[in-house]
Amino acid sequence: MTALPVTPPCDALIGGEWVPTQAWIEAESPSRGEAIARIARCQAEEVMVAVDAARRAFAGSVGDWARWTARRRGDWLLEFAATIEADHANLAALECADTGKPMRQAEADIRACARYFRFYGGGADKLHGETIPFDEGFAVMTLREPYGVCAQIIPWNYPAQIFGRCVAAALATGNTVVLKPAEDACLSVLRLAQLAQENGLPPGVLNVVPGLGREAGAALAAHPGIDHLSFTGSPETGTHVAQAAAVHHVPVTLELGGKSPQLVFADADLDAALEGVVRGIVQNAGQTCSAGSRLLLEASCAEAVLGELAERFAALRCAAGEADADCGPLINARQKARLEARLEAALADGVRVLACGRLAEGAPAGGHFVVPQLLGDVPSGHAVLREELFGPVLAVQVFRDEAEALRLANATPFGLCAGVWTRDGGRQLRLAKGIRSGQVFINNYGAGGGIELPFGGVGRSGHGREKGFEGLRSYTRLKTVAIRHG
Ligand code: TXE
């Protein structure tokens, strides 16, 4: 087994206790293909006990979390942010080993996780209802109340960041949580849960049930005792969990990935655009919901830009996460085989690889590497332009004018992000309004991941918003109180 910097408890966290399970899952290092830990494999029974524990902590004798004042909850979140920052090196090393992502990215992810707790800790006592002017003799107000028990099913691509995004917002607003991390990467989540317990979080406020999607995940989504469900993952699984939750009329937030375009016009700062385009697809080996996986290039600058882009792709290197190269491995052998099959089918359809990166010297033989690739000559409407590949693969299309650029940008069932690179102010606004997606970035891509910025999708990318104050509101439900005082 590859040695870990620290070994978090790998059991389930239920009601403040670490509970062993009957069966286990071997956690693997994507960089080496070797086992690194054995994590709990929860079944429906453990999920049931965890939901009960969260219910008791919400409104029972154990923690009465919802009755902690907003200020006290906020203070706890702020202290926890400091704890995460103090454990930064351990958490980043765990995230790097478990996901294979380059160390710099793992470090940024842990900083972002702490920042979520800081942002929502500060926001806890600043979220409030409103008063509404109404008929003579009435006083009307809205109250923002927590849902209760929030189920959170999260993926493997950004475990620590998504833990921060979901857990901090839910706890700040007085909810309790049962979280199902992904079977492919959950060590940082387990370490964060351990630190939260050590930081004095009342038992049952945060419960973690590691396990397989079809077992623990399905049991959690279908549990009649949950009050809210937040899911990040594939559209197919998103449909399953939303259907399961609908049986009990549980509100659902779905964040389901994308096929996001980057539109580059000839009048743009092309150097900045190229930098943003390459980073937008290579980050986390393309395993990012908001990856900019389609490049739309204005014809008049296409040749020059493609020449430069090909050079940048050829210079990219893949290596183990710890080596901190441009690109790490994919998460597992299944995702690698899935991507390679799609690339093979694309080549058979006449798609051409215009340029590709290489494995760095010494990259471990057992790692699940796929080198970054730039694809050209893609037939219009081809699968590589419509399906999320979830790898470091950028497909290029050329457009003649703004109208065609907009048509191509909107030509997928997804709608998560878009990047627009142009100096023309009118065009910036027209495209910001015309593009069908949850986020549009002008002359940047991703705004550095800004935790303050609401984030979510349209169409197959899902619905509901997380991050920012909108994310905090989404973990509360509104109650209207009308008082007739005469
Ligand atoms: O996703 P799943 P997978 C996309 C990306 C990727 C594809 C497949 O395109 O190639 O999904 O990845 C849990 N009931 N994204 O198979 O299955 C599972 O245990 C309840 C985009 O890993 O959606 C994990 O915790 N839960 C994405 C989570 O769902 C179930 C991030 C995500 O797994 C379940 C990841 C079930 N029946 C993949 N089946 C993004 N939006 O960033 C699985 N799960």
- Residue written as tokens 């000559």? 377
Beta-carbon count within 10 A of 379 CB: 12
- Quick one: which atom of ligand 1 is closest to the CA of 218? 14
Q: Write the residue with the smallest CA distance to atom 8 of ligand 1.
A: 234
pLDDT at 381: 94
211 lines ligand 1 (CB under 6 A): no
Q: Which residues pair with 138 in a beta bridge?
A: 484
Query: Would you write out the chain's pLDDT as a tens digit for each of its 486 residues?
Result: 567 878 899 999 999 999 999 999 999 999 999 999 999 999 999 999 999 999 999 987 656 788 899 999 999 999 999 999 999 999 999 999 999 999 999 999 999 999 999 999 999 999 999 999 999 999 999 999 999 999 999 999 999 999 999 999 999 999 999 999 999 999 999 999 999 999 999 999 999 999 999 999 999 999 999 999 999 999 999 999 999 999 999 999 999 999 999 999 999 999 999 999 999 999 999 999 999 999 999 999 999 999 999 999 999 999 999 999 999 999 999 999 999 999 999 999 999 999 999 999 999 999 999 999 999 999 999 999 999 999 999 999 999 999 999 999 999 999 999 999 999 999 999 999 999 999 999 999 999 999 999 999 999 999 999 999 999 999 999 999 999 998
| Confidence (pLDDT) at 160 | 98
Structural domain boundaries in the chain: 12-256+464-481, 261-451
Backbone angles phi, psi at 359, to 5 degrees: -75, 140
Rounded Cα distance between 352 and 339, Å, is 16
Ligand 1 in reach of 237 Cβ (< 6 A): yes
Rounded CA gap, 167 and 59, in Å? 18
**Please, are residues 422 and 272 in contact by the beta-carbon 8 Å criterion?**
no
Compute the distance between CA of residue 321 and CA of residue 334 in angstroms, rounded to an integer: 19
Contacts of 11 (CB under 8 A, 6+ apart): 18, 19, 20, 21, 40
Other C-beta atoms lying within 10 Å of the C-beta of residue 26: 12
CA 94 to ligand 1 centroid distance, Å? 21
Rg over alpha carbons for the chain, rounded to the nearest Å, is: 23
Q: Residue for token digits 């702020």?
A: 78
Superfamily of domain 261-451: Aldehyde Dehydrogenase; Chain A, domain 2 (3.40.309.10)
Dump the DSSP string for 283-305. Answer: GGGG--TT-EEEEEEEHHHHHHH
Do 114 and 59 form a contact (C-beta atoms < 8 A)?
A: no
Q: Any bridge partners for residue 37, and if so which?
A: 27
> How many angstroms is it from 297 CA to the middle of ligand 1?
31
Amino acid occupying residue 419: G
Q: Report the atom number in ligand 1 closest to the C-alpha of 211.
A: 19
187-198 vs 88-99: helix crossing angle, rounded to 10: 150
Positive or negative torsion for Cα 207, 208, 211, 217: positive
Judge if the beta carbon of residue 183 lies within 6 A of ligand 1. Answer: yes
Strands (E), 319-434: 352-356, 358-359, 373-376, 393-399, 417-421
- Secondary structure (3-state) at 125: helix
Pairing of strands 138-146, 131-132: antiparallel
User: In degrees to the nearest 10, what's the CA dihedral of 469, 470, 472, 476?
Assistant: 140
Residue 441: both structure tokens together: 């970035």
The answer to whether the pTM exceeds 0.85 is: yes
Answer whether 151's CB lies under 8 Å from 228's CB. Answer: yes
Q: Which atom of ligand 1 is nearest to the CA of 220?
A: 20
The CATH number, out of the four listed (3.40.1160.10, 3.30.450.260, 3.40.605.10, 3.40.50.10860), of the domain defined by the range 12-256+464-481: 3.40.605.10
What pLDDT, on the 0 to 100 scale, is given for residue 1?
54
- Ligand 1 binding pocket includes 155 (Cβ within 6 Å): yes
Q: Give catalytic residue positions.
A: 255, 289
Cα 304 to middle of ligand 1, angstroms: 38
Judged by DSSP in three states, 124 sits in helix
DSSP annotation of 321: G
- Strand-pairing partners, residue 34, are 29
**C-alpha 16: how far from chain center:** 26
Mutation probe of ligand 1 site: the residue of 41, 153, 412, 414 with most atoms within 8 A of C-beta: 153
Q: What is the residue whose two structure tokens read 């049962």?
A: 178
